[in-house]
Amino acid sequence: MAISQKVDIAIVGGGAAGLMAAGQAAKLLGDKGAVALLEGAPRVGKKLLATGNGRCNLTNLDAQDRWYHGDSALAKAVFSQFSPADVLREFESMGLYCQEEEQGRVYPKNGQASAVLDALRLFFQKYHGQEICDSPVTEVKKQKNGYLLSLAQGQSLWARKLILAQGGKASPQISSDQGVSLARQLGHSETQLFPGLVQVTVPAALVRSLKGVRCPGKVRFLADGHTVKEEEGEIQFTERGLSGVCVFQLSRFASEYASAHTVLGNPCQKAEIAVDLFPELSFPDVCDLIRNLSQLYPELPMRELLFGVLPKRVGQQVMVAALAEKAGDSAKNLTGPLMKTVAKTAKSWIFPVTGTLSWTNAQVTAGGIPVSEVWVPSMESRLSSGMYLAGEQLNVDGDCGGFNLHWAWISGMAAGRSAAMAIKEESHD
């Protein structure tokens, strides 16, 4: 196969990490280097445009390794090297200005995800970078002084250094899933992959009547009865399960349980989500609330008693879950033991976990290439020198709130700069 082009650095994958790596590499090499960004889709950044409901929550001012899962501890040096302030300064150097909103979340000042993509592309172009779209890479081979990439059109490209940043399996309709397979061709392994930041499914009979209802509360993920993690926020009920940011933060555990019957690597026989509809009240306070309501409306059916404190359908279903057929009885029959049963259900409404929705609905991939196979913080492969890894294909995934894009930026910055510095050092030899 004839080599159609030779470059100093090839970046495979035009998502967040790849775009950042490409810009950093091109800037460092300047006029003396050739940097090519290869993307299998017709255009780069498609998934980036969809983030944050089109507004792009691009980082979080509290971004640090404690908000991440997988091999986050092994990646700590990358988080130490690039702070959220460093990321924002980098974007300002590209002409993109941002603002902080709630809980440290940072968005473009104009509220448009397209501005983030524009900044990354313009910056790359400013330093003479080349975008090559509609060019899936089918094969990669390491050679003595570089890498030979075979493209789907029958062409090939040779690069002195290679950066793989093709993401994972999440949202396949708007992203590619080739990164890990290319890394495998160069000797890398991968952990088991799970959908992350995704709706958790429960028995449909428990939620079907609640479809579309939203209410504030606290959720706890239980593994064999033990709390693994808890989150507070708006809970969304769907026809198949539970959703909302607070539920998304627990979904990694639900995915692992459904795939492997483990949670955090430990065997698990039963997984549940416990919903607390009154996180601001103690159990005795909820008992008092229910007692007051039953005294106020003694003739009202018990299932209607919570109409003034919870969304109507939620209040009805809590009563049914707690009292079964007795929920139709008059509130004057709500004795002390029954009252405690209702309060217990309202404070810990149990939903057995059956799994999650599919990769199509997931925002991020949990699992990936072990960080132990990468030199940190340079992001150079330990198994194939001159090749660097960045972004979602690595076994690092974060909570909601801008954390996953932050990882894409900082791992991309590390990989792009490291590859360019290696080129410059070789040129001086």
pLDDT at 186: 96
pLDDT at 89: 98
Model confidence over 44-73: pLDDT tens digits? 999 999 888 889 999 999 999 999 999 999
Tokens of 273: 């989500």
User: Which mean pLDDT values do the consecutive 10-residue runs of the chain (429 residues) have?
Assistant: 85 97 97 92 91 91 94 96 97 97 95 96 97 93 95 92 94 67 94 95 96 98 98 97 97 95 96 98 97 96 97 97 96 94 98 96 95 98 98 96 97 98 87
Q: Are 18 and 37 in contact (CB under 8 A)?
A: yes
Return the closest-CA partner of residue 237 out of 196, 271, 202.
Answer: 202
pLDDT at 177: 53
Whether this prediction's pTM lies above 0.85 is answered by yes
Residue 319: half-sphere exposure toward Cβ, Cα within 13 Å = 26
Q: How far apart are CA 83 and CA 62, in angstroms?
A: 9
pLDDT at 178: 53
Computed from CA positions of residues 107, 113, 115, 116, in that sequence, does the dihedral angle turn out positive or negative? positive
Return the closest-CA partner of residue 51 out of 379, 414, 401.
Answer: 401
Q: Name every residue whose Cβ is closer than 8 Å to that of residue 406 and which is 6 or more positions away in sequence.
A: 58, 59, 60, 63, 84, 87, 398
- List helix spans (H) across 146-244: 179-185, 204-207
| Coil vs helix vs strand at 348 | coil
**CA 365 distance to own-chain centroid:** 7
pLDDT at 153: 81
pLDDT at 293: 97
pLDDT at 157: 96
Model confidence over 237-256: pLDDT tens digits? 999 999 999 999 999 999 99
pLDDT at 180: 59
